[in-house]
Chains A and B, each alone.
Chain A
């Protein structure tokens, strides 16, 4: 009889100690649930040093607290405390698209959400004429190749070439930020001629660079041009 009692007690102990494992199979620990809207921001298009209020709505299907961990790309930063469901993000000086991310976790699991914020750089696009160099001499009827670098954090939209104030070409945005034009000198350019390259960005800001060249009067010979 005592022997059967011992076996019964052993079975009871096994059942009770094994309960947790069985429960975890049929009722797994759940990760936090994030609102389908994800991160909500006060503004998603801002200027440098603007403050953006970002928040995330999350619930914990399990007992216990939720933990928030915020991060950002680029040089933006969060004003402390940055471990709550709502934070304040300061936009960096450089324009561009930045991503803020939040990781929401409970005792065992986590979920994350991200949001892009556009920072609009108020500066004009940077333009630098690489070719021709200032003061270069050319002759009348010579083809001149113009090469310019144009860049802006918020992307350049259009680049235009002007010669003595008259437009000679226009290019759309190029990924390598290098824009090439060519034009032929004529009699109106003899003497000092100004080459100007202008670039617009997505905000409508315009940057420019210019060089001065010398165009020398040159008369084609007989049956030559």
Chain B
């Protein structure tokens, strides 16, 4: 009998005291002061045949060395007049156009064209490695110190040349979120200086993306992608959380395969 009463007492004590557990973990979505560090996505539209693109990529490699894991680089190869790039995909043309349309700077579309965390920050052209670095540095250095409200927890399962990807997404700070998209970018490192972050597509060629209608306050959602097949497996998968129109990037994480 006493044992039974004691058990009830313990359960009641736990239930009452549960509310008092402080949510002091900043990665707890229910913590109203929660936040995490951002990872900045740098997307570069390039073509292997032009020295200007080599300069831009060299600058990105240097910036990667400067910022380490705080940035992630994806290079989208595009065909330009008179120069077909073996790493190009038609999908990247439309994707580039979407960024240019959303950009507040020049309406011209060409290469090299670099975007930082979406269309909002654009660095076009390259007359020297330093000129690219000098323009990118102030943008990145400002973004990396900002607090981020989203946390991504990806999971990848590789089966032969097939990838199954999923990701948990939560908004920090005890806030809800809506109208988001989760996009995958596949990166191939060809082991050459100018081909380290080449974006590749699965078969059929598409940029995988899922819609996140809503994330409830203090909750997370888990999104699964369809199985993705590759001729050659990529070396890394970038998960990036974007606005509904995909031109603003809120958070990024990279999974090395």
Q: Do A and B come from one complex?
A: yes
Question: Which A residues have a C-beta under 8 Å from some C-beta of B?
Answer: 137, 139-142, 190-191, 214-225
Q: Verify B131–A222 contact, CB threshold 8 A.
A: no
Taking a contact as CB atoms closer than 8 A, the residue among A140, A141, A214 that contacts B131 in the complex is A214
Q: Verify B128–A218 contact, CB threshold 8 A.
A: no
Q: Mark B23-54, 1 if CB is under 8 A from A, else 0.
A: 00000000000000000000000010011110
Instruction: Give chain B residues whose Cβ lies under 8 Å from the Cβ of A190.
Output: 127
Q: Is B135 part of the contact surface with A, judged by Cβ < 8 Å? A: yes
Instruction: Give chain B residues whose Cβ lies under 8 Å from the Cβ of A141.
Output: 108, 110
Instruction: Give chain A residues whose Cβ lies under 8 Å from the Cβ of B197.
Output: none
Q: Mark B120-131, 1 if CB is under 8 A from A, else 0.
A: 000011111001
Q: List 11 A-B contacts (CB under 8 A).
A: A142-B106, A142-B108, A216-B52, A216-B124, A218-B52, A218-B108, A219-B53, A219-B81, A221-B78, A222-B80, A224-B109
Count of chain A to chain B residue pairs whose CB atoms are closer than 8 Å in the complex: 74
- With both chains docked as a complex, state the minimum distance between the C-beta of B97 and any C-beta of chain A, in angstroms: 9
The range of chain B's interface size is 20 to 34
- With both chains docked as a complex, state the minimum distance between the C-beta of A211 and any C-beta of chain B, in angstroms: 16
Q: Which residue of B lies closest to A185 (CB)?
A: B125
Alpha-carbon gap, A214 to B49, bound state (A): 23
Q: Verify B127–A215 contact, CB threshold 8 A.
A: yes
Q: Verify A219–B80 contact, CB threshold 8 A.
A: yes
Q: Verify A137–B135 contact, CB threshold 8 A.
A: yes
- With both chains docked as a complex, state the minimum distance between the C-beta of B58 and any C-beta of chain A, in angstroms: 14
- With both chains docked as a complex, state the minimum distance between the C-beta of A93 and any C-beta of chain B, in angstroms: 44
Q: Verify B126–A220 contact, CB threshold 8 A.
A: no
Taking a contact as CB atoms closer than 8 A, the residue among A139, A191, A221, A224 that contacts B128 in the complex is A191
Instruction: Give chain B residues whose Cβ lies under 8 Å from the Cβ of A217.
Output: 50-52, 55, 125-127
Q: Verify A220–B109 contact, CB threshold 8 A.
A: yes
Taking a contact as CB atoms closer than 8 A, the residue among A214, A219, A222, A225 that contacts B52 in the complex is A219
**Interface core residue of B50, B93, B108, B131 (most chain A CB under 10 Å):** B108
Q: Which residue of A lies closest to B105 (CB)?
A: A139
Alpha-carbon gap, A153 to B86, bound state (A): 63
Q: Verify B125–A140 contact, CB threshold 8 A.
A: yes
